[in-house]
């Protein structure tokens, strides 16, 4: 079915068609008679052999939705019915912000890729926190991660305060946190990946985390463009601060392997999709070997097939996430991955 409608979707602006599709998915889930039943019957996966416990959280399966797809937590229940084992929302910032000027998302069909320069467009942490509070009040068992960042106008020397605001506001309504310092679309943000500022940020959040009777796992999302020496620093930082793990990787600024024509491939922003597959697996494997699997890794980047997911898990990931592969391959990809993982187990 998706093969038939995908060419139609791809005739329209990627950002506009994204919201068109997810809004209708939510309407079908919420208002269409038996909509939820139909979605679950078609896509959901509940197989005990797929259950995983990672950083103290039980996941019904290891395939999650990466941050950026549902920044404001508006479509969590409908997306969960497509089979995802967990949903990561955000990146969210303390204050609402519109993001960068449009157009800011581009399909590179020759490469099965996307370039985006969204710029943390979101409605602010208060709006997200209220939506998640209502979800929790409904006794939802959906595992939700909160991906947090800083506002564009917040200087790096004040960035910690932005992360603290998001952390405190979401603490009671998310299952785990992701610290995003690796997006290429907020000026200066990647400078926070340097060892000293990153240690300070993560230690501050951990101190805040440990003051609570119930702590939340904190993960660090890193860029695929880090050198081995920088990845060595990441391992040291994770071990030193005691955070729960790493998400590898975010989008890349590298364009060296693209087949798409100019000027499309030269658009500013982060590249995701198949060109990232090999590098993301390399980063996951390097971290797993270097750390002797001392902490969990969520593998994301270029997963377009069950084999891609298995390769990521074989490299050392405990869980995987989809975004661009979900767009190119359709919602059936989650179930296909899960079925192949069961066969391989």
Q: Which of 175, 189, 168 is nearest to 118 (CA)?
A: 189
- Tokens representing residue 242 in the block: 């005691």
274 labelled binding-site residue = no
Please tell me which residue in 80, 112, 183, 272 is annotated as part of the active site. 183
117 labelled binding-site residue = yes
167 labelled binding-site residue = no
Half-sphere exposure in the Cβ direction for 76 (13 Å, CA)? 26
71 labelled binding-site residue = yes
Q: Which residue is it, tokens 């805040």? A: 208
How many helices (H) does the chain have, and how many strands (E)? 12, 13
209 labelled binding-site residue = no
List C-alpha distances in Å: 244 to 72, 84, 315, 344.
24, 21, 18, 27
67 labelled binding-site residue = yes
d(CA 262, CA 282): 28
85 labelled binding-site residue = no
68 labelled binding-site residue = yes
270 labelled binding-site residue = no
d(CA 38, CA 87): 20
156 labelled binding-site residue = no
Backbone φ and ψ of 61, nearest 5°: -155, 165
116 labelled binding-site residue = yes
Q: Is the peptide bond before 231 cis (omega within 30 degrees of 0)?
A: no
List C-alpha distances in Å: 143 to 58, 177, 199, 311.
8, 11, 27, 24
180 labelled binding-site residue = yes
Give the 3-state secondary structure percentages of the chain, helix then strand then coil, rounded to 5: 45, 15, 35
Annotation marks residue 112 as catalytic: no
d(CA 291, CA 187): 31
Q: Does residue 71 contact residue 22 with C-beta atoms inside 8 Å?
A: no
163 labelled binding-site residue = no
118 labelled binding-site residue = yes
Residue 87, H or E segment? strand 86-92
91 labelled binding-site residue = yes
d(CA 314, CA 297): 12
- Tokens representing residue 142 in the block: 């959906």
Residue 289, H or E segment? helix 277-291
Active site residues per annotation: 183
Known binding residues for substrate are 71, 116-120, 180, 185, 250-251
Known binding residues for FMN are 67-71, 91, 147, 180, 221, 249, 273, 302, 323-324
Known binding residues are 67-71, 91, 116-120, 147, 180, 185, 221, 249-251, 273, 302, 323-324
């Amino acid at each position: 079915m998706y093969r038939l409608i995908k060419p139609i979707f791809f005739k329209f602006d990627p950002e506009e068609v994204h919201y068109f599709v997810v809004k209708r998915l939510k309407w079908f889930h919420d208002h269409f008679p038996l909509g939820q039943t139909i979605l679950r019957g078609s896509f959901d996966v509940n197989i005990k052999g797929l259950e995983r416990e990672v950083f103290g959280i039980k996941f019904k399966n290891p395939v999650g939705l990466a941050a950026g797809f549902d920044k404001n937590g508006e479509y969590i229940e409908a997306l969960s019915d497509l089979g995802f084992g967990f949903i990561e929302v955000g990146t969210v910032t303390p204050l609402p912000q519109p993001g960068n000027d449009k157009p800011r998302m581009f399909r590179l069909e020759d490469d099965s890729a996307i370039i985006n320069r969204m710029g943390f467009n979101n409605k602010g942490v208060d709006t997200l926190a209220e939506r998640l509070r209502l979800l929790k009040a409904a006794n939802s068992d959906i595992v939700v991660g909160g991906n947090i960042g800083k506002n564009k106008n917040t200087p790096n020397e004040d960035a910690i305060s932005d992360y603290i605001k998001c952390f405190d506001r979401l603490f009671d309504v998310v299952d785990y946190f992701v610290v995003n310092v690796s997006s290429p679309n907020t000026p200066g943000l990647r400078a926070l990946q340097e060892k000293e500022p990153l240690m300070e940020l993560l230690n501050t959040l951990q101190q805040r985390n440990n003051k609570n009777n119930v702590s939340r796992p904190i993960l660090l999302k890193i860029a695929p463009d880090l050198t081995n020496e920088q990845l060595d620093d990441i391992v040291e930082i994770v071990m030193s601060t005691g955070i729960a793990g790493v998400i590898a990787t975010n989008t890349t600024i590298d364009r060296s392997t693209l087949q798409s024509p100019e000027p499309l491939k030269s658009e500013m922003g982060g590249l995701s999709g198949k060109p990232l597959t090999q590098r993301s697996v390399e980063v996951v494997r390097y971290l797993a070997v270097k750390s002797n699997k001392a902490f969990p890794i969520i593998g994301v980047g270029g997963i377009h097939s069950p084999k891609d997911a298995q390769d990521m898990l074989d490299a050392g990931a405990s869980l995987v996430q989809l975004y661009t592969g979900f767009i190119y391959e359709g919602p059936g990809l989650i179930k296909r991955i899960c079925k192949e993982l069961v066969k391989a187990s």
